[in-house]
Amino acid sequence: MINEDDMRKTLLFVSFILTSLNFFAQDCPDSDVTLTTQAEVDAFKTNYPDCTDFPNTLTVGDIDNEDSTIENLNGLSNLISVQGSFWIINNPLLSTLGEINQEFGLNNLAVVEGDLIIENNDLLTNVSGLENLVSVGQNFAIRKNTEIADLYGLNKIATVDEEFEITENPKLETFEGIVETLTVNDFTVGNNLLLEDFSGFINDIIIEGNIQISSNPSLASLMGPDDSSVINYQGENFVLVSNNALNDLSGLELVTEINGDLYLQGNMNLLTYNGLANLTTIDGNLVIVFNPSVTNFVGFSGLQTITGDFLVASNEKLINFQGIPMLTTVNGVISISFNDTLGSLAGFENLQTAENGITITENGVLNNCTGICNILLSGAIDGKLFLQNNNEDCSSASDLKTQCEDLDIEDLEEDFNLKIFPNPTENYLTILDSKLKNVQIFDLQGKKVVNSNENFLNVSHLETGIYVLKVISDKVYTERLIIK
């Protein structure tokens, strides 16, 4: 008969054996893993041959420095999913994540439920090896990889639940490799020196949150293949900053509404806003600052409502607001300041609401504010119009109101077809208009340097520079920028 002590010892021994068997038979490590040497990567498959769904965070490389000796990821070829985050970082010798249609590297990886970060891997030229990757549950970042030139390897990626970030890859030229329609929350593209366009997106990229495209000096187009629109933006804030090769916004034709701010700043060669014709509503602020080449607002032809502020500042060649004929409502403040060549507010004629008023300051040559006569005379901005340090007739709200009361607004319209040549000019300027009444030329300090009623002007006495030309014709007021 077995006594109680022997029974207890027997149970403890069986429990130990079962625990030991369970330990040695486990599929995957039960904690986070960091691999920094090639030997550790190779041993992973040997030690965990049945580990296909890694339950924690996996780091390949050294987050704090570049001491990693990893050259390939063949030891991770069994992985199908990573339930935590997956970092591939600071691997100066890693040249590939796998090969197309090969059974090594990360070719079986389909899902990362946390973050997927591919950062600072000096020899990677693309992301081949991720051909079966379908989704990333949090952030997906490809950044600071000095040799990556394209995104071949992402042919099945379909969703990134949080931010898709592509930044600081100095040799990245194209997004080629992304084949499926890709849905992301936020999309950030920045500091990619050689990126020229969005032609690598075969299908749409659907953006449900914020988009930021900044400091890509070679980016000349937001278009997809065959000049198609691929950015299907359904999200919140849209930031476009310091993309100095960009001439217009073609590629954004699918954008009809922005549920946050539209911020356009420091795009040195942006000439028009063509591409935004289908945009009707900005449910936030419209901020346009330091874009030195735009002369008007052509491209915003469908814009009707801005629920926040409309801020326009320091756009050094802006002449007027032509191009926003549908804009009727601004629920915040309209602020227009420090635009050196702004001569007219033409374009605001249909504005009906500016709930927090209109502030127009420090526009040195601004001498025609009749574009806001309709809203001023309607009483909608009584006590909420502030004018300061503009030129002549735009110097005070009371004087402007008197002008508007004396003016037949219906007889005032912009002439888009007026012929003025040559421009630039050296000595003479010709204005083709049989009903010309008056011509005035202002320098950028607001000083009137020419006042004439002739069609043929001698401007040889003017110093080389930028001037604002104002023409009053029969029921027509227009202006053009001239450069001598």
Pick from 412, 435, 450: which residue ends a domain? 412
348 and 444 share a domain? no
Task: Specify whether 255 is located in the same domain as 403.
Answer: yes
Measure CA 152 to chain center: 23
CATH number at residue 372: 3.80.20
Domain co-membership, 390 together with 432? no
Residues 408 and 424 in one domain: no
Per DSSP, the residues of 150-163 read --TT-TT--EEEEE
Does residue 130 form part of some domain?
no
Same domain, 389 and 425: no
Question: pLDDT truncated to tens, each residue of the chain (484 aa)?
Answer: 445 565 455 444 434 433 443 443 369 999 999 999 999 999 999 999 999 999 999 999 998 888 899 999 999 999 999 999 999 999 999 999 987 556 679 999 999 999 999 999 999 999 999 999 999 999 999 999 999 999 999 999 999 999 999 999 999 999 999 989 999 999 999 999 999 999 888 888 999 999 999 999 999 999 988 888 899 988 899 999 999 999 999 999 999 999 999 999 999 999 999 999 999 999 999 999 999 999 999 999 999 999 999 999 999 999 999 999 999 999 999 999 999 999 999 999 999 999 999 999 999 999 899 899 999 999 999 999 999 999 988 999 998 998 888 775 444 444 556 688 888 888 888 888 878 888 888 876 678 899 999 989 999 999 888 788 888 776 556 666 667 6
**Residue 259 and residue 387 share a domain:** yes
Q: What is the pLDDT at residue 477?
A: 61
CA distance between the termini of the chain: 116
Which residue in the block uniquely carries the two structure tokens 């219906």?
410
What pLDDT, on a 0 to 100 scale, did the predictor assign at position 100? Answer: 56
**Domain of 434, in residue numbers:** 419-483
pLDDT given at position 17: 39
Q: Do residues 364 and 258 both lie within one domain?
A: yes
Contacts of 335 by beta carbon, 8 Å cutoff, 6+ apart: 309, 310, 311, 312, 313, 358, 359, 360
Q: What distance in Å separates the CA atoms of residue 479 and residue 201, rounded to the nearest whole number?
A: 41
Q: Are 57 and 85 contacting, i.e. CB atoms less than 8 angstroms apart?
A: yes
111-155 pLDDT per residue, tens = 999 999 999 999 999 999 999 999 999 999 999 999 999 999 999
CATH code of the domain in which 466 resides: 2.60.40.10
Q: Residue 251 domain-assigned?
A: yes
**pLDDT for res 123:** 96
Specify if 215 maps to a domain.
no
d(CA 268, CA 326): 27
Distance CA 314, CA 328 (A): 24
Q: 247 with 365, same domain?
A: yes
What pLDDT does residue 25 have?
A: 37
Three-state DSSP at 457 gives strand
Rounded CA separation 106/311 (Å): 48
d(CA 190, CA 220): 14
User: Do 373 and 260 lie in a common domain?
Assistant: yes
Burial class of 24 by CB neighbour count within 10 A (0 to 12, 13 to 18, 19+)? exposed
Residue 254, phi-psi category: left (phi > 0), alpha (psi -120 to 50), beta (remainder): alpha
pLDDT for residue 18: 37
Structure tokens at 208: 């449900």
360, 389, 412 - which closes a domain: 412
The answer to whether residues 267 and 328 belong to one domain is yes
User: Which pLDDT value is given to residue 481?
Assistant: 65
Does some domain include residue 134?
no
Establish if 149 belongs to a structural domain.
Answer: no
Q: Are residues 332 and 392 in the same domain?
A: yes
Asked if residue 300 belongs to a domain, the reply is: yes
Residue 429 burial by CB count (10 A; 0-12/13-18/19+): exposed, middle or buried?
buried
Tell me what pLDDT residue 102 has. 62
Is 461 inside a domain boundary?
A: yes
pLDDT of residue 149: 95
CB 337, CB 364: distance < 8 Å = no
Is residue 91 included in any domain, yes or no? no
| Domain end position, chosen among 386, 412, 438 | 412
Task: Determine contact, residues 110/82, Cβ cutoff 8 Å.
Answer: no
369/433 same-domain check: no
Pair of tokens at residue 384: 């909420």
Number of compact structural domains in the chain: 2
